[in-house]
Chain A
């Protein structure tokens, strides 16, 4: 093989590898960027039965039920400003900002000042990557952003803020984001074989945020966060 031929072959091989990553069909990449309102205007406010209702409430295994029974509200990490994680974080009634870059999508949450990065480069998380918000990887397909997040650390209230359901390092959250009219829609599924007998899902939406709105700093105050705990009747002495 001559040198020019070899160069051409290498170039063709390179294009064959690179092209599928770069050539995002514009029709398959939805416009998700912007500030989105997850407050009461867009959807029912979260609570013990929202978004987990009688119809989609997770089926807990014996381990989860045992945890629930001994759970003491006072130990919930949020009273010391530990940020929440999905699925709770994505349903909190605050603003969210989405920024789409070629190699990643950034989700910034007003609640707890959180930033989630969804990598679009097919990276595989490693055991070194366990963290509060885990590692998110995603891709565009058929007009939606598909996100898979894993490698969460254990969280005693990692499922939601109300039901005392923990989540383990095996929690996996998949999200699909798409546009319907001026709304941002999302379908979330959470799996955690340590505590759930089967995956649990909900679908939700955001309205466009106010024109020109900039996310405010949450700046959780640790002293004031724990302040209401004194009003609990202690479960344990």
Chain B
């Protein structure tokens, strides 16, 4: 019995990690021209908008910048069709939610874009599609 509970717990954890991890694999375009895969950026902030669309979904997050100013980050995610198959909906993330995103920053100077992001709650717990 304990073994089965352990297996179920591991399976649930793996599933949660998969949901929390990058959902931007939608193959609309290569990410490399837009985002620098040699760098990593981390954002902790408040969701101001979640566009659940095709060909990309976008999550807009206001976070504090280096000088205390508010920086509007734009996190590119996958297509709404693909994400919905993984249980996501426009209500999975709501305006006002606080999230943490770690991903590749955009290349163009002065922009605050991100792709290929791992999204979690600020405490590091995964954002579940059923949340």
Contact = CB atoms under 8 A, between A and B. Distances in A.
Interface in A40-77: 40, 45-48, 73, 76
A227 B74 contact: yes
For chain B, what secondary structure do more than half of its interface residues adopt (helix, strand, loop), or is it mixed?
Answer: loop
A196 B30 CA distance: 23
Contact of B111 (A94, A225, A231): A231
For chain A, what secondary structure do more than half of its interface residues adopt (helix, strand, loop), or is it mixed?
Answer: loop
B56 interface: yes
A113 to B, nearest CB: 9
B27 interface: yes
Contacts of A45: 25, 27
Interface stretch (A114-122, A127-135, A185-193, A215-223): A215-223
Contact of B54 (A40, A161, A218, A229): A218
B81 interface: yes
Interface in B43-88: 51, 53-56, 58, 74, 76, 79, 81-82, 84-85
A78 B30 CA distance: 12
B94 interface: no
Contacts of B111: 230-231
Interface residues of B, number: 28
Nearest to B25: A45
A229 B85 CA distance: 26
B29 A227 contact: no
Contact of A161 (B28, B34, B84): B28
Contact of A230 (B29, B81, B108): B108
Contacts of B29: 73, 76, 78-79, 161-162, 228
A232 B76 CA distance: 13
B33 A232 contact: yes
Interface in A194-216: 216
B113 A220 contact: no
Contacts of B26: 93
Interface of B: 25-30, 33-35, 51, 53-56, 58, 74, 76, 79, 81-82, 84-85, 106-109, 111, 113
Given A73-B29, A78-B29, A231-B34, 18 more contacts: A39-B82, A73-B33, A76-B29, A93-B26, A94-B81, A94-B82, A110-B81, A161-B30, A224-B51, A224-B56, A228-B34, A228-B56, A230-B113, A231-B106, A231-B107, A232-B33, A232-B108, A234-B108
17 contacts: A40-B25, A46-B27, A47-B30, A78-B28, A79-B29, A92-B27, A93-B26, A94-B82, A110-B81, A161-B29, A216-B81, A219-B53, A219-B54, A224-B55, A229-B34, A231-B111, A233-B107
